[in-house]
């Protein structure tokens, strides 16, 4: 008895394609949106209807709440799926959708406001009895900074409460450096995220990034879909993710998934969300943030559990209970996802916008490709440089990696540089294959 009928997909690229497919599978209509640059895109072609929302610059289209709300109204949509990035964790946007009488496919606006703010989310974790990295509240008084830093200890990180996507984090190793960096970090956070709040967090060295996928409905149902390891990062951005986390002790897995569920229950979470942790060498884990939306790397969880995360988002938003309980969620095999970006590893990963002159995508058993691009499209300088995500499943981790290598051998793109070559090296790297690696492993490798 889904209350939904027609969903506005307030995003672009591969995630817009993913959501449109889920709408159609659920018998719902999907409305695409597009900026000037995206008029002839794959997601517009797949949707039942489409609305132009503005200029190519994201601020004038995908980040413009009024333009999206207007698009929802003019196309008679009754729900809005925000995808990831853009306005997906913007409480004001969620509130505007709710106030317009439409369904925001995500948590309630009040919960989104709390969990979208990393400092507030830390406090919620503490209140839920979930261990956090030692750290502080947002710094209100610069005069307090020496005392606070002393409590946390160096090296530490300055973190923007509103930051995301690897941006808004600065490492600091001494008090002098901290005193210099704090006002600059606050000014930068204000201009980049519209919120100057900065807090301190202890830098945990040689930790792994392990995150737990959760789903919660409006009927008290909260489940987890196990964990993903996203330790292969560059500049705090994920490049390769896998599920389950290799070599994680079963007792740690049980404790970390239980902690994620506890937090979701504590805040009255609704929808799909991810609770991110750092795990140190001794297996201790510490909450870092919650991503209150679908994540880029959700396909590998779908592969090991057989649960369709976006379909569950739609069910929950329609007021239905989750289609499964915890006992019915089993994991099988292993999966690895490679983010292929239009970036040049030879030039410090500079984005390489341009025309996609040729594109050959892999396939075969256990290989899933998520892309918003078709041969002949342009990778625009205005947005994320993701070309495609290759997610590869195997009965075990060895087979998943073997299929990833095969998929990468088939993958071919012309017209832009890409990270495919880096992924070919990574998926054959003895240290990564032996696993697990920590979050600065790749940067140490790249030098």
| Catalytic machinery residues | 293
Residue 117 interacts with which of Mg ion, ligand ADP, none, CB < 5 to 8 Å by class: none
Q: Decide whether 276 or 312 has the Cβ nearer to Mg ion.
A: 276
What is the maximum span of the chain, computed from C-alpha positions, in angstroms?
A: 60
Q: Decide whether 75 or 295 has the Cβ nearer to Mg ion.
A: 295
Angstrom distance (rounded) from CA 103 to CA 317: 7
Angstrom distance (rounded) from CA 310 to CA 316: 10
Helix H, strand E, coil C: the string for 320-351 is CCCCCCHHHCCCCCEEEEEEEECEEHHHCCEE
* Residues within window 254-293 making contact with Mg ion, judged by CB under 5 A: 276
Least distance to Mg ion from the beta carbon of 14, Å? 19
Angstrom distance (rounded) from CA 180 to CA 144: 14
Question: Angle 136-141-142 (CA atoms, 0-180°, nearest 5)?
Answer: 90
Residue 403 interacts with which of ligand ADP, Mg ion, none, CB < 5 to 8 Å by class: none
Angstrom distance (rounded) from CA 271 to CA 355: 37
Torsion of CA 56, 62, 66, 68, to 10 degrees: 110
Give the N- to C-terminal CA distance of the chain in Å, as an integer.
55
Judge whether 356 and 331 are in contact, CB under 8 Å. no
**Burial profile 12-47: b = 16 or more Cβ within 10 angstroms, e = fewer:** bbbbbbbbbbbbeebebbbbbbbbebbeebbbbebb
Least distance to Mg ion from the beta carbon of 209, Å? 8
Q: Decide whether 149 or 203 has the Cβ nearer to ligand ADP.
A: 203
Looking up tokens 């799926």, which residue turns up?
81
Angstrom distance (rounded) from CA 348 to CA 410: 25
Looking up tokens 């209970």, which residue turns up?
321
Judge whether 61 and 397 are in contact, CB under 8 Å. no
Nearest to 43 by CA among 66, 11, 6: 11
Q: Decide whether 15 or 31 has the Cβ nearer to ligand ADP.
A: 15
Q: Decide whether 133 or 182 has the Cβ nearer to ligand ADP.
A: 133
Interface with ligand ADP by CB under 6 A: which residues? 84-85, 133, 157, 163-166, 169, 193, 201-204, 207, 209, 233, 236-238, 276, 278, 288-289, 291, 295-297, 384, 439
Task: Read off φ and ψ for residue 86, nearest 5 degrees.
Answer: 40, -125
Looking up tokens 């008895």, which residue turns up?
1
Q: Decide whether 28 or 272 has the Cβ nearer to ligand ADP.
A: 272
DSSP assignment, residue 165? T
Q: Decide whether 102 or 210 has the Cβ nearer to Mg ion.
A: 210
Least distance to ligand ADP from the beta carbon of 26, Å? 22
Residue 240 interacts with which of ligand ADP, Mg ion, none, CB < 5 to 8 Å by class: none
Least distance to Mg ion from the beta carbon of 289, Å? 5
Question: Angle 376-57-46 (CA atoms, 0-180°, nearest 5)?
Answer: 45
Beta-bridged to residue 50, according to DSSP, are 32
Least distance to ligand ADP from the beta carbon of 258, Å? 20
Least distance to Mg ion from the beta carbon of 202, Å? 16
Residue 133 interacts with which of ligand ADP, Mg ion, none, CB < 5 to 8 Å by class: ligand ADP
Q: Decide whether 15 or 317 has the Cβ nearer to ligand ADP.
A: 15
**Residue nearest ligand ADP (C-beta atom):** 164
Least distance to ligand ADP from the beta carbon of 49, Å? 25
Judge whether 80 and 8 are in contact, CB under 8 Å. yes
For residue 228, CA distances in Å to 61, 84, 231 come to: 32, 17, 9
Least distance to Mg ion from the beta carbon of 252, Å? 19
Residues that bind Mg ion (CB under 5 A): 276
């Amino acid at each position: 008895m889904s209350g939904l009928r027609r969903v506005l997909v307030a995003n672009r690229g591969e995630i817009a394609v993913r959501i449109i497919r889920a709408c159609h599978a659920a018998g719902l209509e999907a409305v695409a949106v597009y900026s000037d640059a995206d008029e002839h895109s794959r997601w517009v072609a797949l949707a039942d209807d489409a609305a132009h929302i503005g200029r190519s610059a994201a601020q004038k289209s995908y980040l413009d709440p009024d333009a999206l709300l207007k698009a929802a109204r003019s196309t008679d949509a009754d729900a809005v799926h925000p995808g990831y990035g853009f306005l997906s964790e913007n409480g004001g946007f969620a509130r505007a959708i709710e106030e317009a009488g439409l369904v925001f496919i995500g948590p309630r606006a009040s919960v989104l406001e709390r969990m979208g703010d990393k400092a507030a989310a830390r406090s919620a974790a503490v209140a839920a009895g979930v261990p956090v990295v030692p750290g502080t509240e947002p710094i209100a008084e610069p005069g307090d900074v020496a005392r606070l830093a002393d409590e946390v200890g160096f090296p530490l990180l300055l973190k923007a409460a509103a930051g995301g996507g690897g941006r808004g984090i600065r490492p600091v190793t001494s008090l002098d450096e901290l005193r210099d960096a704090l006002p600059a970090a606050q000014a930068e956070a204000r201009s980049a995220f519209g919120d100057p709040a900065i807090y301190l967090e202890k830098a945990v060295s040689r930790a792994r990034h392990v995150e737990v996928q959760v789903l919660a409905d409006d009927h008290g149902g909260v489940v987890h879909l196990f964990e993903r390891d996203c330790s292969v990062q560059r500049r705090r951005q994920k490049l390769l993710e896998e599920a389950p986390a290799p070599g994680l002790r079963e007792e740690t897995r049980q404790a970390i998934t239980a902690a994620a569920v506890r937090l979701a229950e504590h805040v009255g979470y609704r929808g799909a969300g991810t609770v991110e942790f750092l795990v140190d060498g001794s297996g201790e884990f510490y909450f870092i943030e919650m991503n209150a939306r679908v994540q880029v790397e959700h396909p590998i969880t779908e592969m090991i559990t057989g649960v369709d995360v976006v379909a569950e988002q739609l069910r929950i938003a329609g007021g239905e209970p989750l289609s499964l309980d915890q006992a019915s969620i089993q994991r099988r095999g292993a999966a690895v996802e490679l983010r292929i970006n239009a970036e040049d590893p030879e030039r410090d990963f500079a984005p390489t916008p341009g025309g996609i002159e040729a594109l050959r995508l892999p396939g075969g058993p256990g290989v899933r490709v998520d892309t918003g691009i078709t041969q002949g499209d342009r990778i625009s300088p205005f947005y994320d440089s993701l070309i495609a995500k290759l997610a590869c499943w195997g009965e075990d981790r060895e087979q998943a990696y073997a299929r990833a290598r095969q998929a990468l051998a088939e993958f071919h793109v012309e017209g832009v540089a890409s990270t495919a070559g880096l992924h070919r090296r990574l998926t054959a790297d003895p240290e990564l294959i032996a696993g697990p690696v920590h979050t600065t492993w790749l940067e140490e490798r790249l030098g």
